[in-house]
Structure 1
């Protein structure tokens, strides 16, 4: 997080009221027994060097802040945390043939953003339940389910030139049965859109795995 504090626009994002930053699981170090909370090797090792993506942090807005906790008229199924954002420090070795970020890498960032939104909802939902706090009945129950990427429709808007920090944001759209629909985009610090995505994740009862 210290790195992003040196970049004014990043620091402004992280200092907004009710923003909760956290270290991605793929950037945590093993505990004393060598255990890591993730099996992710791609972001944990392959992309983690000074020429690829050396710095990476996530944040979301506290769902229990006064602004977020206002009574909503819409009672359709939803996620507890409706949006999550990644800050990723991209360097030239993520470039493709034309010297801008590889399209596959951009798609990977989008998948990571959507997965991060699902992850933080799972963690915070279960934490709130353990604390005995009540939640609206339309919030998706994260217990006993596993969730997977089912589809991503990515649209590339403009070349993503190196080196720069980008903002990848995933936002909840709707739930239809076991299907969770989410939107995502990758932007520059001044708001230029490099790519957008309409994604769908499937929820599967763990006993069926």
Structure 2
């Protein structure tokens, strides 16, 4: 998806879970089941939300530079941020609970496509906006939310690889462990001007159903300072476990 700078800068994207607009979105997407979201990804509501999020980050110079730095970069709304069918609670934490102007108003994922469509994608990056409703201490993101961001973006590795066919798409991949080191405070912003972090996730080793990953949160201005780092194990369930 091509990116371009937007002027004037848009305000942070509005909250989706509530309001008349949200009710209309839920109404238009009430038919698909919770396990089949392919038909809602390209809905007008999701396309509008995706465009707003990308435009928001493109309005910030250092974010726009990242999004235009590599040819053929794939930029999209993160899978867990997709507005789901009415009654579906899958990915509710990111798509509903934290999807508000003063929590996490914007979140996108981007990565370079592999040499072959079915090759693994080994690295994904996300830009995430943080408002005051994810605070622990005032102006500082709660440590549990920082771990959530690391776990979430690592999870996008599996979403991307399942979508391309590089991984079995039927069975879920669950977190085995997530060991996190906090280097510096992860700052948050205001409802009007949220702070931005860059989260980078890498798939470092695969052994059968076991997938080892590492993730880093960068922030403090232009996403250059390492704030937190994690190592994780994700395990794809056997069909008999479902």
TM tier, smaller:
0.7 to 0.9
SS of residue in 2 equivalent to 1:160: coil
Question: Is 2:155 aligned against 1:115?
Answer: yes
Counterpart position of 1:161: 187
Q: How many angstroms does 1:146 deviate by?
A: 2.8
- The separation in 2 between residues aligned to 1:53 and 1:6, in whole angstroms, is 17
Counterpart position of 1:60: 111
Aligned length: 180
Counterpart position of 1:206: 239
SS of residue in 1 equivalent to 2:157: helix
Q: How many angstroms does 1:207 deviate by?
A: 3.7
Higher strand share: 1
1:1-209 equivalent positions in 2, closer than 5 A: 1-15=54-68, 16-30=70-84, 34=86, 39-64=90-115, 80-97=120-137, 99-125=139-165, 141-163=167-189, 164-188=195-219, 189-209=222-242
- The separation in 2 between residues aligned to 1:117 and 1:86, in whole angstroms, is 11
Cα distance per residue 1:115-146 (max 9 Å; x no partner): 11111111112xxxxxxxxxxxxxx6425543
- The separation in 2 between residues aligned to 1:27 and 1:148, in whole angstroms, is 18
Which structure 2 segments of 5+ residues have no match?
1-53, 190-194
SS of residue in 2 equivalent to 1:148: strand
SS of residue in 2 equivalent to 1:173: strand
Q: How many angstroms does 1:161 deviate by?
A: 1.6
Answer yes or no: is the 8 Å Cα contact 1:146–1:206 preserved in 2: no
- C-alpha distance 191-116 of structure 1, shift in aligned 2 (>3 A): same
Counterpart position of 1:133: none
- The separation in 2 between residues aligned to 1:63 and 1:21, in whole angstroms, is 14
Q: How many angstroms does 1:40 deviate by?
A: 1.3
TM-score w.r.t. length of structure 1:
0.78
Cα distance per residue 1:79-112 (max 9 Å; x no partner): 7000111110111221113541110010000010
Higher helix share: 2
TM-score w.r.t. length of structure 2:
0.68
- C-alpha distance 22-119 of structure 1, shift in aligned 2 (>3 A): same
